[in-house]
Structure 1
Amino acid sequence: MNVQRYDMLDGLRGVAALLVVGFHLSQFGMIPAIVPRGYLAVDFFFVLSGFVVAHAYERDLRTHLSLGSFIIKRMIRLYPLALLGAGMGLVVLLLKWLFFPGKVESLEVLLASGMLNLAMVPSFLSATATSHDLFPGNGPLWSLFFELLINLLWAVCGIWLRTSTLILIIVVSLVFLAVFVNRYHTLNIGYDTATFWGGLARVCFGFPLGVVIYREQHRLSANARHWSMFTLSAALVFVLAIPVAVSERNFPWLDLVFISLCLPAIVIGGTGQTNTMRFGSLLGSLSYPIYVLHFPIVLMMSGLSQSLLSGWNTHIIASMSFVMILAFSWMALRLYDEPMRRMLTSLTRKGDGKFYKPFPTPEPVSGATQPDGGQIDVRL
């Protein structure tokens, strides 16, 4: 596996994670709606994930890497922090039930949903009090569920599909997304029981699109793949900051334009730079813990702003929340996630060597594109 890193994409992933934090802070009324389309960062993650996972694993899965090995690698990468995030969400909901029992579901429903979420399984038990969320204590984990699902489907059959077949899947998914946009007037779907299938359509559009970009990047001109970090970050912020339509007369179809043209273009623009940006690497490392851990902190601080901190300025509470999210994410990464992944990797190597048996470098697969490039941290 190539040891270079796509530092530009790492940095962009970190920028997107911070924009998601801003989106949720505004949803809880702590700051103005500065990135009202922050939910589209999930679609950016899906496209980026398809590119990264295909780069890291497609050749190996076609030659020597077993399905079991791939699943273990992905679970070691994703599950420790996801487990921590789901646990934090459950604790926050239990505290809310203890102090504000009328604002959450019954204890039995909370515990049942919490146990399912700890296993990365969406819950269809929540009701109005928790907005029918699939992951009521940590909403963003809905996208991680679909990420794990698409990873499995891709490893089982997707790696053998021709690029033309992937494009057909992308087009069909886009048609379904158009149906959902026509119904809900937004692509902010997939996180609750009513729009579950919309989440599936989003990942079935974004992930294969990322795989196609990986396979076909050699066809792109150098100019399309070399943009500055500032330019691409500004483009990402601009897309997510465009005000959301308040009626169907205000172009609700913009979301479809953004996910099919703008966000893939930003990913393409970030594929040309490797091993040059330490700051980008740091942002990339923090992006995943920020994404899976920030929501319980925002939920807790929102509760405090309505009770113990009711007299405080909401902007101060938002600033405190942001600092807490960054600090806790960094500590979780260094003190929990990285040691846990090292330990799990060591245990799996000792427990079953066949999953990690070294192989000689295989010959390129006939018809497979092996473009030059780097390796980035293969996480959402």
Structure 2
Amino acid sequence: MNTTDSPKPHYLILDGLRGLAAIIVVTFHLAEPLGTGHLDILVNHGYLAVDFFFLLSGFVIGYAYDDRWQGMRTGTFLKRRIERLQPMVVLGMTLGAIGFYFTDSTIWPLIHTVPFWKMLLVMLIGYTALPVPLSLDIRGWQEMHPLNSVGWSLFFEYIANILYAVGLYKLSKKALSIFVVIAGIALAHLAISSPNGDVSGGWTLNIEQVRVGLTRTMYPFFAGLLLSRISKPVRIKHAFLYCSILIFAILYMPRIGGATQLWMNGLYESVCIIVLFPLIVYIGASGVIHSSMERKLCKFLGDISYPLYLVHYPFVYFYVAWISDRDGTTLTQALPFALSILVGSIALAYASLKWYDEPLRKWLRKKWG
């Protein structure tokens, strides 16, 4: 646990873990088009990083805001969340719009039939993080944010934050525990009984996928909130190393159970989200920074984590188009392109943080007092 100038200790190791998970998300999206389906993706469980983000978010929100509600209004809290989240949402959607007509591919035959006004409307709606209906699915992938796919998780992040702010922060530890247990049962049922034997989904605006998105959000976010209230961190040496190994092992784990025993993979993901992710956050919150190098690494990873998540996917669209138009592309052939996107996205994320996100958030703080 790292003490900063803020009145509370800052969990720098958790920042580092969030950045590490964001990098793994990028590798998942780069590996995904090389697989033949959900069973053989190289980074097979990379999408679980989103569930880890939700848990981290709940933990940090509870830690930062639970003791402020006597002197803080709901509107103040929501302004702070908008200040934190929205600038990068706007940039991410803008990048997606800029690249939209240039991701020409046989897998997106609709793109060049989409009028400019329609793309502009989708971008402006995307700026709000609200989902677009299927009638505005201008890419044809049934995404609620067709200019930047990852926007779906920000929509559900906002829902969790709003629920917390309008009253769930008042829940006692006992009531919150009951809520979390029910949400955990719903999550396990989703994972084990789903057609693919996993929790993947939530990015389409229909009843089935909204249910997936809500189920994936409610347990980890409010489990993180509960963990922030009941945990008593101890001093754990080498916590960042141990947690990093666990995250790599969980997210890079090959598919379990194959095509015949899908429930086994669902059970694996349930254990990861319900048990292992809270354990990782607890260990990370209890960790001790050992060197200035580790401190700098965790800070850097934490700084780029959110910008990286929002800026990388517009470039993934180009990558997917390139692979789709070249049947039989191997990992070896795709690797140079993939690495350039990974490195370039990290560089862009850092530049976006320093030249756009931080200055804009500073301006918003001054404007809103």
Q: Give TM-score, length-normalised by structure 2.
A: 0.85
Residue pair 1:89, 1:296 contacting (<8 A) in 2 also: yes
Tell whether 2:218 aligns with 1:213: no
Partner of 1:242: 253
C-alpha change, 1:101 and 1:282, in structure 2 (3 Å) is closer
> C-alpha separation between the residues in 1 aligned to 2:310 and 2:109?
27
> C-alpha separation between the residues in 2 aligned to 1:101 and 1:143?
23
SS in 2 for 1:253: helix
Moved more, 110-119 or 38-47: 110-119
**Residue 22 of structure 2, aligned match among 17, 21, 29:** 17
**Residue 5 of structure 1, aligned match among 10, 35, 51:** 10
Partner of 2:127: 118
Partner of 1:367: none
Partner of 2:338: 318
Amino acid at match of 1:138: N
Partner of 2:99: 92
> C-alpha separation between the residues in 1 aligned to 2:189 and 2:122?
29
Partner of 1:286: 304
Q: Which runs of 5+ in 1 are unaligned?
A: 350-380
> C-alpha separation between the residues in 1 aligned to 2:57 and 2:248?
19
Residue pair 1:50, 1:207 contacting (<8 A) in 2 also: yes
> C-alpha separation between the residues in 1 aligned to 2:139 and 2:359?
37
Partner of 2:56: 48
Shift of 1:116: 2.0
C-alpha change, 1:333 and 1:153, in structure 2 (3 Å) is same
> C-alpha separation between the residues in 2 aligned to 1:70 and 1:105?
42
Partner of 2:185: 175
Shift of 1:307: 6.5
Shift of 1:209: 0.3
Q: Which runs of 5+ in 2 are unaligned?
A: 1-5
Residue pair 1:6, 1:274 contacting (<8 A) in 2 also: no
Deviations 1:263-283 (A, max 9, x none): 111001001136661210111
> C-alpha separation between the residues in 1 aligned to 2:103 and 2:91?
18
Tell whether 2:140 aligns with 1:130: yes
Residue pair 2:106, 2:325 contacting (<8 A) in 1 also: no
SS in 2 for 1:242: coil
SS in 2 for 1:95: coil
Tell whether 2:166 aligns with 1:189: no
Moved more, 103-112 or 158-167: 103-112
Deviations 1:243-264 (A, max 9, x none): 1243251513211111011111
Partner of 1:145: 155
C-alpha change, 1:266 and 1:173, in structure 2 (3 Å) is same
Shift of 1:306: 5.7
Shift of 1:97: 6.4
C-alpha change, 1:347 and 1:315, in structure 2 (3 Å) is same
C-alpha change, 1:175 and 1:46, in structure 2 (3 Å) is same
> C-alpha separation between the residues in 2 aligned to 1:153 and 1:271?
25
Shift of 1:340: 0.6
Task: Provide the aligned length of Structure 1 versus Structure 2.
Answer: 344
> C-alpha separation between the residues in 2 aligned to 1:227 and 1:54?
25
> C-alpha separation between the residues in 2 aligned to 1:284 and 1:318?
22
Tell whether 2:275 aligns with 1:270: no
Residue pair 2:131, 2:144 contacting (<8 A) in 1 also: yes
C-alpha change, 1:88 and 1:128, in structure 2 (3 Å) is closer
SS in 1 for 2:34: coil
> C-alpha separation between the residues in 1 aligned to 2:77 and 2:246?
34
Residue pair 2:28, 2:46 contacting (<8 A) in 1 also: yes
Amino acid at match of 1:341: R
